[in-house]
Amino acid sequence: QVQPVESGGGLVQAGGSLTLSCSVSGGTFVGDDMVAWYRQAPGKEREVIATITWDDGSRHYTDSMRGRFTINRNYHENRAFLHMNGLKFEDTAIYYCSVQRDYVVYWGQGTQVTVSS
């Protein structure tokens, strides 16, 4: 069982920055794990922001998220990150980390990000 755990959410003013962190509870990221960040705003569907492959660090972004959001990972800290800049009110959402391993997707509980206008 892989249990992603997110942290770093909170309240931030519009225009501010925030970094979210994802780790694996009681374990580690391994090999070709695919780590992804999603978000779900109230009344909207969950949408993917970006993905990163753990071993080689290759990244992909949803076009609308490119520019203000950066996905990264620290191999030695065994954490993945989502750096968010220039936050807008409409970025308010629950942000989720997921890990795909051996064709199974595991989800974290999510962390709330609230942007005040």
In this prediction, residue 79 carries a pLDDT of 97
Mean of the pLDDT values across residues 24-34? Answer: 93
Q: What is the pLDDT of residues 55-109, one digit of tens each?
A: 999 999 999 888 999 999 999 999 999 999 999 999 999 999 999 999 999 999 9
Give the H or E element holding residue 71.
Answer: strand 69-74
More confident residue, 117 or 85: 85
Q: What is the pLDDT of residues 50-68, one digit of tens each?
A: 999 999 999 999 998 889 9
In this prediction, residue 86 carries a pLDDT of 96
Q: Helix, strand, coil: what percent of the chain each, to 5?
A: 5, 55, 40
In this prediction, residue 84 carries a pLDDT of 98
Of 84, 106, 94, 96, the residue nearest 29 (C-alpha): 106
Sorting pLDDT into bands at 50, 70 and 90, what band is 117?
A: confident
In this prediction, residue 25 carries a pLDDT of 95
| Location of structure tokens 């942290």 | 7
